[in-house]
Chain A
Amino acid sequence: MIEGRDPNLVKELIELGGADLVKCYQCGTCIADCPTGFSETPLSAKRLIHIVKLGLREKLLEEETPWMCVTCGGCEERCPREAEPFEIVLAIRRWQCKEDDTFVPLALGEIFARGHTQNVLNPIRKEIGLPEIVTVANNHEAMQKFREMLKETNVYKRYSYIFREE
């Protein structure tokens, strides 16, 4: 193994949902139309894939750009190799979470606590004549079942400190 390079990195990303990254031939179509191109530090799926293929673990862990993705699907649509760049970006996020807990979004805890990323019980509902919310946010029995299901996931088992029942 060349110093600083880990050939297993590709395999790890494949297992996390980035299976098609091996198809990438570095043409750069994925970044041609990416909204984040307006930034001085744009998200480049092409570059990230190259980092993975070179096995540069530390470099990949330093990258904050995977979290910039606007999820517009432009790269997915236009990739001539159908390498699914968006799925690779998600796989890189998952890898970063695995390597370093501080990458794990705290919104996971919100969803566990109230079923949504935020409080959906807006008092305006009543004023404008909307029916009551029937999602888990307002249904104790369903909320308990939802949490019970989440407790079966590896995410819950691994990062249990994030999850609190309100």
Chain B
Amino acid sequence: MKFCLFLGCNMPAIRPDAELGIRLSLQTLGVEVLDVEGASCCPAFGTFPSVDEDATLAINAWNLANAERKGADIAVQCGSCYSSLKLGRYKLIHGKLEEINQKYLSKVGMRYEGKTDVRHIIDIMHNVIGVDKIKNSLRYSLKGMKVVVQNPCHVLRPSKKVGFDDPENPIALKNIVKALGAEVPRYSRERQCCGGAGGFAKHDKKANLEFLKKKLDAMKDEVDPDCIAVSCITCLMHMDNAQAELRKLGMIDYEIPVFDYCQLLAICQGHDPSKVARIATTPRDAVISKILRNKI
């Protein structure tokens, strides 16, 4: 089994430890992780898609074609990259493919055949690798720990074009977190977006923080979890970093550590936490120590 790991921009630029978590956990599960030579920005919705659709599809097709040359589907964690590439591919294979190939890719000797697909890490973990294989790869577990999940919006909606899970009651991320031994309690604002993507925070910081506070308060009051498991670089950075801002403003008085799912998985598989979970604003040491005491 092999996948082309699509890095996007935020992960390699700001959280390369999350990238390491993904690589090592996939490799431990027997997946060959390929790098896509010549990959670029997906492109993100606030860039080319906000100016011109053809240019957007050309860049989508550029990235898809580069992965196609490796003969494997794309694996991606960033919700925005997943959505941009998946929706772009949908538009391409439903009509624009030949035009985009001819007008843009052919000018630089490239071509996208429409074969390479785009799959999110949650989809790969749950539906390709499966929970049993994940369980069998563990050396430590999250036994006795309560973990709440934050699904990336972009893997759920629009479900007809991007979905692999129930958009109103997603179970895949919960199941793969449970596979690590954790209890995954439901909380009322579980389906609420983190608010980190796009221009919301930039346009109205106060409202954006109040929006996230509602979600965090619901987690804290109803569940009091050990940590939050996400599977999107924006959810990871926003839910982690914004907690510091909320505390500074006196809007919250607690801390809930945030991990990318693959960081938790990689730690449970025995990989070095100081490498796979190196960068965080909200301290994660207590959770990591707890995991390392849970030897299987």
Q: Which A residues fall within an 8 A CB radius of B?
A: 16-17, 35-36, 38-41, 64-65, 67-74, 76-77, 84, 86, 90, 93-94, 97, 104-105, 107-108, 111, 115-122, 124-125, 128-131, 133-136, 139, 142, 145-146, 148-150, 152-156, 159
User: Which of A38, A68, A71, A136 is the one whose CB lies under 8 Å from B40?
Assistant: A136
Q: B-side interface residues toward A, CB under 8 Å? A: 7-10, 12-14, 16-17, 19-20, 23, 35-41, 43-55, 58-59, 62, 80, 83, 103-105, 107-110, 153-154, 156-159, 162, 167, 192-193, 195-200, 203-204, 207-208, 210-211, 275-276, 278-279
| CB-nearest residue of chain B to A91 | B53
Within the complex, the shortest CB–CB distance from B280 to chain A, in Å, comes to 13
Known: A35-B211, A142-B38. A150 touches B157 (CB 8 A): no
Contact between chains at B203 and A130 (CB < 8 Å): no
Residues of B within 8 A of A153 (CB): 52, 54-55, 58, 104
Residue in B14, B47, B107, B195 whose CB lies within 8 Å of A70: B195
CB pair B157–A74 under 8 Å, yes or no, is yes
Q: Is A17 in contact with B39, judged by CB distance below 8 angstroms?
A: no
A71-B43 in contact (CB<8A): no
CA A158 to CA B260, docked complex, whole Å: 40
CB pair B13 A116 closer than 8 Å = yes
Known contacts being A40-B207, A155-B55, is A116 close to B38, with CB within 8 Å?
no
With A35-B211, A94-B51 known as contacts, the answer to whether A146 contacts B16 (CB < 8 A) is no
Considering the chains assembled together, what is the distance between the CA atoms of A129 and B272 in angstroms? 11
Knowing A74-B157, A129-B275, A150-B55, say if A94 contacts B50 (CB, 8 Å). Answer: yes
In angstroms, how far is the closest chain A Cβ from the Cβ of B65?
10
Known: A64-B203, A94-B51. A73 touches B16 (CB 8 A): no
What are 18 A-B pairs with beta-carbon distances under 8 A?
A35-B192, A39-B203, A39-B208, A67-B203, A70-B195, A71-B153, A86-B158, A90-B45, A93-B51, A108-B51, A111-B48, A117-B44, A120-B12, A124-B17, A134-B35, A149-B58, A152-B58, A154-B52
